[in-house]
Structure 1
Amino acid sequence: MLPKVNTMLYYHIASSDESEAAVEYKSRIADEEEDGLLIEYPLNEKTGRTKRLYLGDEMSVFFVEADGVKHYFDSHVIGFKEDGVRLVKIMKPDPEKMTRVQRRSFLRVPAELELAVKISGKGRFVCKTDDVGGGGISFLYREPQGLKSEDAIQCWLLLPYKNGSVDHASFTAEVVRIKELESGRRQAMIKFIDISDSERQKIIRYCFERQLEYRNR
């Protein structure tokens, strides 16, 4: 499903500045042309200020259907148009490369990211994730760490984005299951039990960038 005129788009604009890349903007689709969508200038909801865009600016975009399903895609600025107000023209998404996510579900992607884990009363260790999602992750580690099912752990996850910026997400999680692998390592599957919306959004953003990267290969 492609977005239609009057649909509200939400997006992050690629930037080498970490704080700028983390800002979410929104704007309405004002018109449609054969090769592009004409959108109003993006608005930062927190500050109420509009964002000036330039030819070639890249963005990660999503829109939401009435039933709560989200559609994610990558786009970039391909031009501008004066129509009473100045509009920005962005590339139409390729339906085959869009990612669709049901309400209350979170995409999981395979990823080897650095994760710091702190177990209450048992110290801390650094390991690598096996997969990452908006509802939880799994990671690989070696004993002895004293980790067991139902443990509550504090975690700090390193998130490198495709624009070159790096961010961290912190959260409290519960160990759901531990599996011993043939390699001698163990795989811990954890679910988030205390994570802010902003921290979860950082992880979700990373997941969708990875998913779009796989689809573009």
Structure 2
Amino acid sequence: MFLSIGTTLTIVKDIEENNSEKFKSKVVDTGEGYVMIDYPVNIETNRTTFFIDGTKLQISFVQNNISYSFKTEVTGRANKDIPMLKVSYPGDKKLTKIQRREYVRVETAVDVAVDFGGTFHQYVTDDISAGGIALNLGPKDSFEDGEKVRLTIALPFLNDEIKYIKTEAQAIRTWMKNERAIASLQFLDTTPKDRQNIIRFCFERQLQARNDA
């Protein structure tokens, strides 16, 4: 099964009604033909949401840098240490691959705080896009491929406004650039509002670079 315990999920409710409301959740258990997830949290309000049995959902997730989605419905619930929802799972062969839009990536230095399970480290980006970032690593720093961390990104705009982006990210690879180690991370649960702020920031930096050329 592509889905494993701990996989971050993005959920859209009432897909037939073209509802844009999105939620995030995680896989807490799996079985034959079903997946157990923790109670979804509304991405915009950060409030836990209760879905009744029969609620239609569309779930998407990232695995090995590829996005997948599937249609499902709530079929039950359980309470083992934490409250869980049971949703049907059609099987790996019936997943739909999502063609991810390529975002504009700009080379710029932005401060990023990385939360390694309660231990915070400060980094500076090599580049950033609405899909992910590349971090400059110190000589003793390293990321495991597939490692998931929480990020807080400070985006300084030209009008002196600073937007703070908080998102989970997954390490994709570590590579060398001009004898420096760089870690590429993909965003996993960026809110639409935060994504638009990153796109705005990248666009602003592009214009600034052109004006300075």
TM, length-normalised to structure 2? 0.49
Q: Of the two, which has the highest radius of gyration?
A: 1
